[in-house]
Structure 1
Amino acid sequence: MGIDVKIAATGARTPVGASAESAAAAVRARISRIAEHPILMDGAGRPLACARDPLLEFSVRGAERLAALAVSSLGEVLEKLQREASLDTVVPVYLALPEPRPGFESGDAESVSAAIQRIALRGKARLDVEVLLEGHAGALRALELATERMSKRMCDLCIVGGVDSYLEAETLEWLEEGRKVARRGTRDGFIPGEAAGMIALTTQTARTKLRLPSLATLRSVATEHEARPMDSDEGALGEALSKALARASQGLVIPGECLDDIYCDINGERYRSDEWGFVALRQSRALRDASAYTSAVRSWGDVGAATAALNCVLAVQSWRRLYARGPRALVVGSSISRLRGAAILQQEKGV
C-alpha cells in the first residue's frame, strides 16, 4: 500500500447497539434483534422477520431513514476525533450506499449526502462527502480509494463508512420477487436489516500531529470485479474474491502472519457460502482457519452496504476487548454488482 494507515476512531448505529462499543459487545454476546415487524409483511402475508433500529419511528422512511443512521454513526466518530484533536480542515467522507434498486435511487443518495453535509463541526472543519453506490463491498472500495488518495498526499485524515436499510416496501417487494427474504418455504433468503458503520483513517504522521489514538493498522485492501453474476448458471467459483484476497495478502509473511479472524457477509444465500468455500480452497495458506468466520447476521440481519464497515468495527473492538483469535483480521465483501473486496487489519502493539 506504500503508506502507514491507522484507524483512529470507529462508530456504529445498529439494531443491537447505537455505538461501536455497544454494537460489538452485543454481537459478541450473541444478542439478536431479529423479530417480527409490527407493520411490514413478507410475501406470504405474515409479519416480516427483520432486524430494525428500535430508536427510529416507522414513519421515517427511504433516504431519510438512511440519513438518520449515517448521521448517528458519523457523529459518533466525529465526537471521538474532536475530543482528542482540533480539526481545522476539510475531512473527506467516503460513504458506501446500496446499489440502485427499487426503493433506493440516485436521488436518495444525494439526499443522504446532503444530510451528512449539514453536520455542524467545531472550528473551521467541514465534511466533503463522496458516495459509492456499490453495496456489500462498497466500503472496501471506499477504503481502497481513501488509501490511494492518502498515498498521493491528497488527504491525511478521512472517514470511510457504509449505511443501508432494506426496510422499505418497494425494496422488500423486489427481494420477495427474487425469493431473497428468509421465511418458511424459502431456502436461499436472508433476514433484512439496517445499520450504519464508520471508521476514521489517518496517516501515522497526521495521527501524531493531531494526537489521535491508533486502534489498528490497515495493512492492505484490494478490490476486483467478478466476471459471473450471482445468478450465473456456472454458480459461484470465487475467482474475483480470491484475486482480491491474493493481492491484499501479498505483504504477509506466511505462515507466521496468517489471518487469524475472518469477518464476512455470509447471510443465508447459498451463493455467498459457495463463493467463500472456493476462496478458502484457493487461499488456504493465508488463513489460520477458513471455517472460523464471523458474520453478524444473527444479531442485526443483512445490512447491505453497511456490512464491510461494521466488520472493520467488530475487528477493532475484538482487539480492544481482548477476545480476538490473533493480531490479524480479514474483512471480505461481495456486491450484487460483482464488486469483490478484501481488507487486512492488524492489531496495534500494546493495545
Structure 2
Amino acid sequence: MTAQRPVEILGIGMTTAVGLTAPTTAAAVRAGVSLSRETSVLDRRFKPIVMTTVPEADLPGLSPALHATLGLTARQMRMLRLGGPALRESVAGVDRVDRIPVLLAVPEPYPGRPAVVGPGFLQQLAVQAEVPFHLERSRIFPQGRAAGFAALHEAIERLASGSDVYVIVGGIDSHLDLHLLAALDLEGRLRAERVFDGFIPGEGAAFLLLSSAGKAEHLGRSPSARIDGAASAEEPGHRYSEEFYRGDGLDLAFRRLFASTAGAVQTVYAGLNGESFNAKEWGVAYIRHRERFAEGATIEHPVDCLGDTGAALGPMLVGLAAVGINRGYRRAPCLVWCSSDCGGRGAAMVSGAQGREVR
C-alpha cells in the first residue's frame, strides 16, 4: 500500500461526561477522572445500571426548529444535543463553513433492529448546532466504534485529491436508550455486581477539523497534530457472526496502516472497553506486529474515564491523542484503534504537527 498523504488537525471539539470541551476532556482523562454512577434505569435484576453520562443540565435543549420533526427518537434527540456543542467547538471562528462537509460516524444497528439514524440526521445536526456545513458532500458512516476510521480514510483521500479543501470528521453516540440497554443486559454485557466481563455504557461526541498540509494559515489557525494515515478492515468472526473468531480484522487494519506509515509506535490509544472479546484481538494484532512498537510504548485506555462512547470513540481517541502530543505529555507517533460490535475494525496514526513529534 502506498503512503497516504498526512493531513493536519486544525480544530477539535468534544462533549463528554468528564468535560464539555476538548481541553477539559483531555485534562480530565489525563487525571484519571471518572464520573460513572448509578442511573435510574434498572437492569433485569432490578439493580440500577451504572453509566457514564453527560449531566442533563450541561446539555443544551433540542432546537425549537426540530420539535415538530416526525419520527425523531429519544436516542436521536440525545445524540443531537451531544453533537451540537462539539461541532461548534471544532469550527469556532471559521468562515464559510458551508463549504466544508461532515463525515459522521454513528451507531451501527443492533442485530435485527433498524438503523439508528437516517440521512436526515445530518440536516438535523446542522440545525441543532447552528453550523451550516456542506450537506450535499457530507456522509454518514453507520459502523459503530470503528466508523470514525472509515470516515478518516475517506477524508484523507478527499483532501489528497483536492476534491475538498477542508473536511470535518466526527462521531456521536449515546447508550442512553432503554431498548439498547435491555438487549445488552440480556446478553450479560453490562458491567454489574455479578458481571465482570462487561462494559460501562457511555455517550459523547467528538469532531475534528482537517486539512491537507499548508492550508491551516488560510483559516488563521495552527495545526495541533497530524494524522499520517487511517485504515479499516472487517472481522469475519465478530461478536454476532457464526464465523470462527481469530482476530484477523484488527490485524488487517494494522497491516494496512503500517504499510502506509513509518516510525515505531510510542503510544497506543486503545479502544478497549473492559470486555475480553476485543482485548483478545488486540493481543493477536500486537503480537503479529510487535516489531512496529517501540520498547516501553505506553497504552492509554480512556474508556476507563469516559465509559464506552460507541461511534464517538474513534474521533474522540484521535482528538485526545492530538491534544496529548501537542501539549507534550504523550509521545508520538501514536496508534489509535477501535473495534465495532459487528465487523468493523479501524486504526489511525497520529503524530506531531509539522513533524515535531514528542519522544
- Looking at structure 1, the residues matched to 6 and 61 of structure 2 have their Cα atoms a distance apart, in angstroms, of 43
Which TM-score applies when normalising by structure 1? Answer: 0.89
Maintained 8 Å contact 1:103/1:168 = no
**8 Å Cα contact 2:97-2:131 kept in structure 1:** no
**Given the alignment of the two structures, is residue 343 of structure 1 paired with residue 356 of structure 2, yes or no?**
no
Q: 1:177 to 1:121 in 2, by over 3 A?
A: closer
Residue 334 in structure 1 maps to residue 339 in structure 2: yes
After TM superposition, the structure 1 = structure 2 runs for residues 267-306 of structure 1, keeping only pairs within 5 Å, are 267-288=273-294, 292-306=298-312
1:97-146 Cα deviation digits (max 9, x unpaired): 00013898436344532222224358xx6455311111000000100111
Q: What residue number does 2:329 align with?
A: 323
Give me the whole-angstrom Cα distance separating, in 1, the residues matched to 2:165 and 2:91.
15
Equivalents in 2 of 1:142, 1:265: separation in Å?
Answer: 17
In structure 2, the residue matched to 1:73 is 86
SS in 1 for 2:54: coil
Q: Which amino acid aligns with 1:120?
A: E
Measure, in 1, the Cα distance between the counterparts of 2:142 and 2:96. 28
**1:214 and 2:227 aligned:** no
- Residue 270 and residue 289 in structure 1: after superposition, are their counterparts in 2 closer, same or farther (change >3 A)? farther
2:233–2:346: 8 Å Cα contact kept in structure 1?
Answer: yes
Q: TM-score, normalised by structure 2?
A: 0.87
The CA distance in 1 between the partners of 2:316 and 2:143, in whole Å, is 15
Percent of residue pairs identical: 28
Change (3 A) 1:107 1:181: closer
Report the AA paired with residue 348 of structure 2: A
Q: Is 1:258 paired with 2:260? A: no
Asked whether the 8 Å contact 1:264–1:308 carries over to 2, the reply is no
Match of residue 24, structure 1, among 26, 29, 34: 26
Change (3 A) 1:289 1:168: farther
- CA apart distance, 1:87: 2.4
> What's the counterpart of residue 317 of structure 2?
311
Aligned residues, how many? 340
Q: Distance in 1 between matches of 2:321 and 2:266?
A: 11
Q: Structure 2: how far apart are the matches of 1:56 and 1:211?
A: 29
Query: Match of 2:130, as an amino acid?
Result: A
| Distance in 2 (alpha carbons) for counterparts of 1:63 and 1:319 | 33
Aligned residue number for residue 4 of structure 1: 6
Distance 1:72 1:103, change over 3 A: farther
Q: Which runs of 5+ in 2 are unaligned?
A: 63-72
Note if contact 1:166-1:194 (Cα within 8 Å) is conserved in structure 2.
yes
In 2, Cα distance between equivalents of 1:174 and 1:224: 26
Matches within 5 A, 1:1-351: 1-37=3-39, 39-54=40-55, 55-56=58-59, 61-79=74-92, 82=93, 85-87=94-96, 89-101=98-110, 105-106=114-115, 108-110=117-119, 112-118=121-127, 119-121=129-131, 126-128=134-136, 129-230=138-239, 236-253=245-262, 257-288=263-294, 292-324=298-330, 326-348=331-353, 349=355
Q: After superposition, give the CA deviation of every residue in 1:169-190 in whole Å (9 maximum; x if it has no partner).
A: 1110111121111112223210
In the alignment, the residues of structure 2 paired with residue 232 and residue 142 of structure 1 have an alpha-carbon distance, to the nearest angstrom, of: 24
Q: CA deviation at 1:231?
A: 5.1
Q: Distance in 2 between matches of 1:300 and 1:205?
A: 33
